[in-house]
């Protein structure tokens, strides 16, 4: 005999629950729901918000007063360390917002990643972020002279990228006093032995040259045995009158500086030592 779906449902429906059964089922459902919420909240940490670049979740934790420098038990990382690692893998706008928000709310700006020993400044320079973003990190105390596992500082990375805007942004003075040992040497060399002053001359930027001279930039030689002044003299011989004029102006800025050599510095150091 054929049974309709309605008849089948009628024959297999549950019998009505009595009051005690209803109470037990309600308590059981409530317990399951409570456990789910507890488990959910356990997994919803600031560290996981940073790991997943969940901006809304992160701001919720910040509003609730979560500790931005708390170390995660399973990894030993702070939220900022996790966010920086994510930026290394995936240079997304969301990851950058997470990093900036954490620093703005008290995360230690010079926190380093575990894999490369890099700070937020290293990563922002490598990613060629806007100079305004780099200036912000500097104002918050980001050190431009911390070396990563490869011996690179944010400043030397900017030189390697020949990014004059970032070089100047990295010279932004911090709002608070910083450890001078973590600040860059203005005359540090990048690839091919170039200094920031070499790059400023090559880009014919008089403002940048003046700024670097203010920070005691020296006339060091690059791997081609050329000083910034040598590069400026080359510009004066350009067939382009405008470029030649700029070259002459740069020469006028640099020429009064005494030529600097490591030999002279070592000689002076020895004289001072045995005086």
Q: How confident is the model at residue 262 (pLDDT cuts 50, 70, 90)?
A: low
The model's pLDDT over 133-183, given as tens digits with 9 standing for 90+, comes to 999 999 999 999 999 999 999 999 999 999 999 999 999 999 888 888 899
Provide the mean pLDDT of the chain.
83
Residue 18 within a domain: no
Query: What integer pLDDT is reported at residue 44 of this predicted model?
Result: 72
pLDDT, tens only, 92-115:
889 999 999 999 999 999 998 878
148 and 75 fall within a common domain: no
Are 144 and 180 within one domain?
yes
Q: Output the six-digit token pair for 188.
A: 């540090």
- Where does residue 39 rank: exposed (0-12), middle (13-18), buried (19+ CB within 10 A)? exposed
Looking at the structure, tell me whether residues 206 and 249 fall in a common domain.
yes
Give the domain-ending residue among 85, 108, 131. 108
**Are the CB atoms for 81 and 111 separated by under 8 Å?**
yes
Per the domain annotation, does 35 fall within a domain? no
Residue 16 located in a structural domain: no
Q: What is the pLDDT of residue 3?
A: 41
Considering the domain architecture, whether residues 139 and 208 belong to the same structural domain is answered as no
Confidence of residue 116 (pLDDT cuts 50, 70, 90): confident
36-40, 255-259, 268-272: segment of lowest average pLDDT: 36-40
Q: Is residue 39 part of a domain?
A: no
Q: Give a yes or no: residue 9 inside a domain.
A: no
Residue 187: predicted pLDDT: 97
User: Contact 124/162 with Cβ under 8 angstroms?
Assistant: no
| Cα R_g (the chain), whole angstroms | 30
28-49: pLDDT as tens digits: 444 433 333 344 344 578 999 9
Expressed as residue numbers, the domain containing 68 is 44-108
Q: Mark whether 208 and 227 lie in a shared domain.
A: yes
pLDDT at 135: 96
pLDDT tens digits, residue range 195-230?
999 999 999 999 999 999 999 999 999 999 999 999
Is residue 34 in some structural domain? no
Q: What is the dihedral of CA 120, 125, 131, 137, to 10 degrees?
A: 20
Residue 243 burial (10 A CB sphere; 0-12, 13-18, 19+):
middle
104/126 same-domain check: no
What is the structure's pLDDT at 11? 43
Domain boundary among 135, 153, 184: 184
pTM of the predicted protein model: 0.74
Name the phi and psi angles at 207, rounded to 5.
-65, -45
In sequence order, the 6+-apart residues with CB closer than 8 A to the CB of 79 are 46, 47, 49, 50, 58, 68, 70, 72, 102, 107
Indicate if 212 and 269 belong to the same structural domain.
yes
pLDDT of residue 275 exceeding 60, the answer is no
What pLDDT, on a 0 to 100 scale, did the predictor assign at position 38? Answer: 43
Q: Percent of the chain having pLDDT more than 90?
A: 64
| Per-residue confidence (pLDDT) for residue 180, from 0 to 100 | 85
Task: Report how many domains make up the chain.
Answer: 3
Residue count (the chain): 275
Instruction: Clarify whether residues 166 and 212 are in a common domain.
Output: no
Same domain (yes/no): 138, 176: yes
Whether residues 131 and 180 share a domain: the answer is yes
Q: Is the pLDDT of residue 79 over 70?
A: yes
Q: How far is the C-alpha of 152 from the C-alpha of 166, rounded, in Å?
A: 15
120, exposed or middle or buried, with CB in 10 Å at 0-12, 13-18, 19+?
buried
pLDDT score for 172: 94
- Residue 25 in any domain: the answer is no
Q: Please, which residues have CB within 8 angstroms of residue 78's CB and are 6 or more apart in sequence?
A: 47, 68, 69, 70, 71, 72, 107, 108, 111
186 touches 217 (CB < 8 A) = yes
- Does 125 share its domain with 175? yes
What are the pLDDT digits (tens) for 228-249?
999 999 999 999 999 999 999 9
Q: What is the domain-level CATH number for residue 60?
A: 1.25.40.20
Number of alpha carbons in the 13 Å side-chain half-sphere of residue 244: 6
Last residue of a domain, one of 184, 206, 231: 184
234/264 same-domain check: yes
In a domain, 32, yes or no: no
């Amino acid at each position: 005999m054929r049974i309709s779906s309605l008849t089948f449902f009628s024959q297999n429906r549950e019998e009505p629950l009595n009051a005690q059964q209803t109470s037990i089922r309600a308590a059981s459902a409530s317990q399951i729901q409570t456990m789910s919420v507890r488990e959910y909240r356990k997994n919803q940490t600031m560290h996981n918000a940073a790991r997943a670049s969940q901006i809304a979740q992160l701001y919720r934790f910040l509003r609730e007063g979560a500790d931005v420098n708390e170390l995660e038990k399973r990894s030993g990382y702070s939220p900022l360390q996790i966010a920086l690692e994510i930026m290394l893998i995936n240079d997304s706008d969301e990851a950058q917002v997470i990093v900036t928000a954490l620093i703005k709310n008290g995360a230690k700006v010079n926190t380093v990643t575990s894999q490369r020993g890099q700070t937020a400044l290293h990563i922002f320079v490598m990613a060629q972020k806007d100079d305004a973003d780099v200036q912000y990190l500097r104002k918050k105390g980001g050190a431009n002279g911390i070396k990563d596992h490869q011996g690179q500082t944010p400043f030397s990375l900017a030189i390697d990228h020949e990014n004059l805007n970032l070089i100047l942004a990295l010279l932004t003075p911090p709002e608070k006093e910083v450890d001078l040992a973590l600040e860059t040497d203005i005359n540090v060399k990048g690839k091919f032995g170039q200094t920031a002053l070499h790059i400023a001359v090559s880009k014919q930027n008089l403002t940048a040259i003046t700024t670097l001279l203010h920070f005691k930039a020296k006339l060091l030689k690059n791997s081609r045995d050329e000083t910034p002044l040598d590069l400026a003299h080359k510009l004066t011989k350009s067939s382009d009158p405008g470029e030649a004029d700029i070259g002459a102006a740069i020469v006028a800025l640099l020429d009064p500086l005494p030529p600097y050599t490591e030999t002279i510095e070592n000689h002076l150091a020895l004289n001072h030592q045995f005086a």
